[in-house]
Amino acid sequence: MEIFNHDSNIPFLGMRKYSIAIALALMIASIVLIATKGLNYGLDFTGGVSMVVDYDQSVQIADVRDALAKGGLDHAVVQTLGGTREVSIRMQPKDDPGAVAADGKVNLDRIAADVTKMLQAARPDAKLKSRDYVGSEVGSELRSDGTVAAVFVILGIMAYLWIRFERRFAIAAVATEIHDVLVTLGILALVQREFDMTVLASVLAVIGYSINDKVVVFDRIRELFRLARKAEPEEILNRSINNTLSRTIITSLFTAITMGALYFFGGPAVHGFAITMLIGIVVGTLSSIFVASPILLWLGVSKKDLMPVTKENPELARRP
């Protein structure tokens, strides 16, 4: 199945000045947004009140959320705990104004009592099993660990591509990966979408998904460089993008459809993951087409960089 002709010749490299300029502008704008507006960190990173509630009979997550929303707790995070009768509820103390004293101290007993009252108004069999307060120090540690994880993923990708292809490919891939991550985070900062552990997992998934597209294009570039005799690097790079364009678009389209289904039918717990993946798919696909290859051309990739290294036979070398 092909959307675009395999032998089409759309001049993507001819647009490289504009595409690189747009990519740089988006990166700078994203950095500014992250620095000024910041990411809207969720409970996983900021800390808060955590409670476990047990029911005598099975309960639906949606019913628990509705009961809390009717009581004024619209932003509580509700999840099941390995069954249908036990749920975890996490919330910010500020969501229950009467539970925070003037000096900032949190009345955990008051919050637990308020939540239990809201739940029992809908289901009398709701019983509070445990409650705890998680400080912001844990969230700060999670943020730093998440940053370290993203950096290690990108460095690992760079090492892999350096070994599989060549140094210039590794540099081009890392540059576009940084672009993809920054722009994705910039959009999240712009719309102030809650950034929690599921969104962090989605950002890491975006890195892996994005590099997959680029490896397909890079593989085609290497193949065409080895087959072509006198073609110029720009022509090879442009032909490689055109040859893989249908595959890139189809893969992105079906992945986006999957994420759309996850968003509409997966429930609020996975909304952040699905939305972040959709943003990353669009950004990663465009960077694979318009950014990665222009960087390769600028770095001066050529046929001799990709030809297999052959060892000279010592016996032949000694012959006159």
Helix (H) or strand (E) holding 317: helix 314-318
Token pair for residue 91?
């919330």
Tokens of 201: 């997992």
Task: Say yes or no: domain 48-134 is CATH 3.40.50.720.
Answer: no
Q: Of all residues in the chain, what percent carry a pLDDT higher than 70?
A: 88
For residue 92, which of 122, 72, 120 has the smallest C-alpha distance?
72
Residue 200 CA to chain centroid, in angstroms? 7
Spatial contact of 48 and 134, defined as CB atoms under 8 Å apart: yes
E-state strands within 17-71: 40-41, 48-54
Quick: pLDDT tens for 28-78.
Answer: 999 999 999 998 888 778 778 888 999 988 998 889 989 988 888 887 888
Per-residue pLDDT, 28: 96
Domain ranges of the chain: 13-40+138-306, 48-134
CATH of 13-40+138-306, one of 2.40.160.20, 1.20.1640.10, 3.40.190.10, 3.40.47.10: 1.20.1640.10
Extended strands (E) in the chain = 40-41, 48-54, 77-80, 86-91, 127-134, 194-195
**Whole-prediction pTM value?**
0.81
Spacing of C-alpha 5 from chain mean position: 31
Tell me which of 123-127, 146-150, 295-299 is least confident.
146-150
Residue type, 25: A
